Amino acid sequence: MIEPTLPLTSYELIADYLTRLDGSPGVYRMLDAESRVLYVGKARSLKSRVASYARPQGHSARISRMISETTSMMFLTTKTETEALLLEQNLIKQLKPKYNVLLRDDKSFPNILVSLEHGFPQIKKHRGAKKEKGNYYGPFASAGAVNRTLAQLQRFFLLRDCSDSQFESRSRPCLQYQIKRCCAPCVGYVKADEYATLVRDAERFLGGKSTHIQVELAKDMQAASENMEFERAAALRDRIKAMTQVQSSQGINPQGVPEADVIALHMEAGQACVQVFFIRGNQNWGNRDYYPRIVGDVSTTEVMQAFVGQFYSDREPPRMVLLSDKIEDPDLMADALAGKLGRRVEIAVPMRGEKLELVAGAKRNARESLARRMSETASQIKLLKGLAVAFDLSEPPRRIEVYDNSHIQGTNAVGGMIVVGPEGMIKSQYRKFNIKGNDITPGDDFGMMKEVLGRRFKRLLKEDPDRKSEAWPDLLLIDGGAGQVSAVQNIMHEWGVDDIAMIGVAKGVDRGAGKEEFYRTGKPVMALRHNDPVLYFVQRLRDEAHRFAIGTHRAKRAKANMKNPLDDIDGIGPKRKKALLSHFGSAKAVTRANLVDLMAVDGVSDAMAEIIYSYFQP
């Protein structure tokens, strides 16, 4: 009689891998029965790390639960442990494993760019890859922080913020000159060397050398006064006064920390908040809070280690990183960050002095931010429970998607989707849809909604056909009545997702506030009492979707209005476009130019001139 082979336990399965592993550094992945990644980790020695999982004792509840769900593992060896650390963080961000600490906000930060592609450099906000030639200053915590700094720079140094094409086409000063925010280099009111001095001072200000600038400005003011150039002396006096006011209002700027990121962590009730302050040029350039996803009984050391690794996986680190809590491998992390920056990076947990005060301030902000978030989450969960009761849902929804369309007589039509969950509006999940259907009659809201929902479900089914990820909604809110609900129901039935709850929100017969009517498939029209908190909640969601859709539509319409006709001509790139605008002064003048004048433009061949002429004069 042959004894039946019993299935291996998770510990035995993991131990079986030990015979095929050596002491090389690398990254390992733990997978469940459906090949979903449960955990990604790195190890100095893969064999030693895997051996620790093969022992049934000595694990926390979270690790024990993770091991019990593991049915297979994957391994990738690396040359060094530093390479393993970098690969681990990239895989965590890509795969989003269940048991890893996960940074859920990966938005890029804005910078200030002093462009050097023009004789009179432009100063502007920049976000994304640093491809344009110039000097970059940042990161700033938000677009608002950048805008405030740019406003200060324009007050102090009178630098232009207009585009190169606007600069070339000016024949008289713009409003910025009239309100003393620009020195009007576009019309020759300032010489190139004088403008270069202003640019140099602005860059020194961004580098934290404002005191030196004030000393030099004071000397220039005194010299101008002695030479009886009283108007120039008054202008310099105003610049010194403005800079002094800014310095006095920024009392939290550190004196002994020229460049650092200050990262503080606070954990409470199974949730975490990480506060990051950006110090550049001895100035505080704002802060941002993050709420990493944590599972079970993780330590502050593990959360901080994961956050730092993921935070800098696609960002340039500063020279110094100040932490509120220790990380597991500070030297290894410093080596990894130094490899990205190209110079030494210091990671420290300060114990005294100004650095400790900076960390303590960030820690206080993290604690207060988490308290506010937990309070808001409790209120949100209560509203979601009330929503489930009001509309006979089986359980409170974890993810609500709200849809709306926006257009003007069918032009520049867009669809907007906002997402709401127990933690409030999830703005990183908002999506916009440019209406592409050629068979849709202009102004056909039903057709637009069908296209938006069709594209949404098509993508969801492609990315997660088993419907197991958190990207699938529990409830759809549609701005509209019976017609919109019927159109959406048809598209949901077509894609086989008609088991998702859906509600149409209409404004009622007299469209009065608080008299909304709610439409559901196969059920009578209903309304909520006037003072019901759930009614206010649904109104807020609908208004947010409306705001997002209208904002997207306006941006699309503004882009269409500002579109340059030269952009539609094959062979016209940025350089030729710039040459044409510089030569003729405006795109409109190019459209009216004759063939001989087009041939006279530098960088435009005779053949290209004929193409341009034929495009505008068919």
Domain architecture of the chain: domains with CATH: 10-95 (3.40.1440.10), 111-249 (no CATH), 259-371 (3.30.420.340), 400-560 (3.30.420.340), 565-616 (1.10.150.20)
The DSSP line for 508-548 is -TT--TT--EEEETTEEEE---TT-HHHHHHHHHHHHHHHH
- pLDDT for residue 151: 84
Are 126 and 113 contacting, i.e. CB atoms less than 8 angstroms apart? yes
The share of the chain scoring above pLDDT 70, in percent, equals 91
> CA-CA distance, 590 to 43, in Å (whole number)?
63
pLDDT digits (tens, 9 = 90+) for 361-395: 999 999 999 988 888 888 899 999 999 999 999 99
pLDDT digits (tens, 9 = 90+) for 60-75: 889 999 999 999 999 9
Nearest Cα to Cα of residue 220 among 206, 195, 240: 240
Q: How far is CA 104 from CA 98, 276, 291, 295, 365, in A?
A: 13, 15, 7, 14, 19
Mean pLDDT of 451-457: 89
* Beta strand segments in 117-270, E: 123-126, 134-137, 259-268
From 136-140, 481-485, 566-570, the region with the lowest mean pLDDT: 566-570
- pLDDT for residue 438: 66
Mean pLDDT of 32-40: 91
For residue 495, pLDDT over 50 is answered with yes
Buried b (16+ CB within 10 A) or exposed e, 460-478: beeeeeeeeeeebbbbbbb
Nearest Cα to Cα of residue 160 among 136, 144, 146, 181: 181
Sheet with 123-126, edge to edge strand ranges: 123-126, 111-115, 134-137
Most confident of 25-39, 191-205, 403-417, 464-478: 25-39
Mean pLDDT of 572-594: 81
Burial of 575 by CB count in 10 Å (0-12 exposed, 13-18 middle, 19+ buried)? exposed
Q: Is residue 465 reached through a cis peptide bond, with omega within 30 degrees of 0 on the bond before it?
A: no
> CA-CA distance, 568 to 590, in Å (whole number)?
13
Most confident of 122-136, 228-242, 504-518, 584-598: 122-136
pLDDT digits (tens, 9 = 90+) for 82-109: 999 999 999 998 888 999 999 876 677 8
pLDDT digits (tens, 9 = 90+) for 387-437: 999 999 999 999 999 998 887 665 678 889 999 998 888 888 899 888 876
> CA-CA distance, 41 to 498, in Å (whole number)?
39
Nearest Cα to Cα of residue 98 among 12, 33, 31: 31
Contacts of 193 by beta carbon, 8 Å cutoff, 6+ apart: none
Q: How confident is the model at residue 296 (pLDDT cuts 50, 70, 90)?
A: confident
Q: How confident is the model at residue 448 (pLDDT cuts 50, 70, 90)?
A: confident
- Number of helices (H), then strands (E), belonging to the chain: the values are 20, 19
